[in-house]
Amino acid sequence: MNWRMHPKRTIVLAAMAVGLGACAGQGSGPAAGGGDSPSAPSNTTLQRIRGEVVAGNDGYGLTPCGSDRQRILALSVQAKGFIDRFQAPVGKPEFFLDAWAREQGGKMEVVAIERAHTEGPRCDAAPEQAQFVASGTEPFWSLRVSPTGWLLERPDSPPLQAMAAVEKIGSGYAWASASPKAKVELTPGYCADGMADAASAWQAGIELGGVRLTGCAHRGELPLP
């Protein structure tokens, strides 16, 4: 396999947990449902991994955050579908990956992907203390969902915070608030942000004051509702 990387980085073939590094963590795993977030395998502990990915002739290698050792990646069907769409049409030799993985046969098997990007937060970014983080463009907006509700921020408006209880809708989630009268919906499914050269595993929609905002989302550090 012809890997394009710094010569001091070594591809590790033996199964080892150390490769998951400081940015890996135990979690409830990806949400059950459709899109690119499959059900977590039974009796298997998935770990949240983040790190820099390098594309080789025969696959991908990941250097997890907090580690200098590169791991060969094995991709589930869902994860491969996500990466193939993210790489189209010209391919990206290097990118940042945020995903759910497990040790499998001497490789790190990526079961589901939260997000991938060439531009955006890297290993030095602070943990996102939210259940979900979403954003959109035209107009620009960002959203953080917590166990008590959500916070919407827009460049030309003051922050808007609402208390809202979560409702499970199929494989997604919704939060409806009375003041302000609004509804936030998050649904599993591939979502591309062309302006940031990024893709996420969740699609976001906000109904607010007769206006609908759309964008992409990924899971934060807090457990799912």
24 & 83 share domain: yes
Residue 48 and residue 28: Cα distance in Å, rounded?
9
| Between 78 and 1, the higher pLDDT residue | 78
Per the structure, how many domains does the chain have? 2
pLDDT at 61: 96
pLDDT at 6: 41
pLDDT at 221: 96
pLDDT at 44: 61
Q: How confident is the model at residue 4 (pLDDT cuts 50, 70, 90)?
A: very low
Which of residues 87, 117, 147 is at a domain's end? 117
pLDDT at 27: 53
**CB atoms < 10 A from the CB of 114, how many?**
24
* Locus of tokens 């998050």: 186
101 & 136 share domain: no
| Paired tokens of 125 | 């970014």
pLDDT at 13: 30
Task: Using a pLDDT cut of 70, give the percent of the chain over it.
Answer: 81
Domain span at 24: 11-117
172 & 85 share domain: no
CA dihedral 32, 122, 93, 36 (to 10 degrees): 10
In the predicted model, is pLDDT for residue 197 greater than 60? Answer: yes
pLDDT at 90: 87
113 & 16 share domain: yes
Q: Is residue 65 part of a domain?
A: yes
| Between 15 and 150, the higher pLDDT residue | 150
16 & 100 share domain: yes
* Locus of tokens 């919704």: 174
113 & 154 share domain: no
Residue type, 146: S
Q: What is the DSSP string of the chain?
A: ----S-TT--EE-S--GGGG-TT-EE---SPSSSTT-PPPPTT---EEEEEEEEEETTEEEEEETT---EEEEEE-HHHHHHHHHHHTTT--SEEEEEEEEEEETTEEEEEEEEEEESSS--TTSPP--SSEEEEETTTTEEEEEETTEEEEEETTEEEEEEE--EEEETTEEEEEETTTTEEEEEEEEEEEETTTTEEEEEEEEEEETTEEEEEEEEE-SSPP-
Q: Is residue 33 part of a domain?
A: yes
96 & 25 share domain: yes
Q: How confident is the model at residue 78 (pLDDT cuts 50, 70, 90)?
A: very high
In the predicted model, is pLDDT for residue 135 greater than 50? Answer: yes
Within 8 A by CB and 6+ apart from 157, the residues are: none
Tell if the pTM clears 0.95, that is, is over it: no
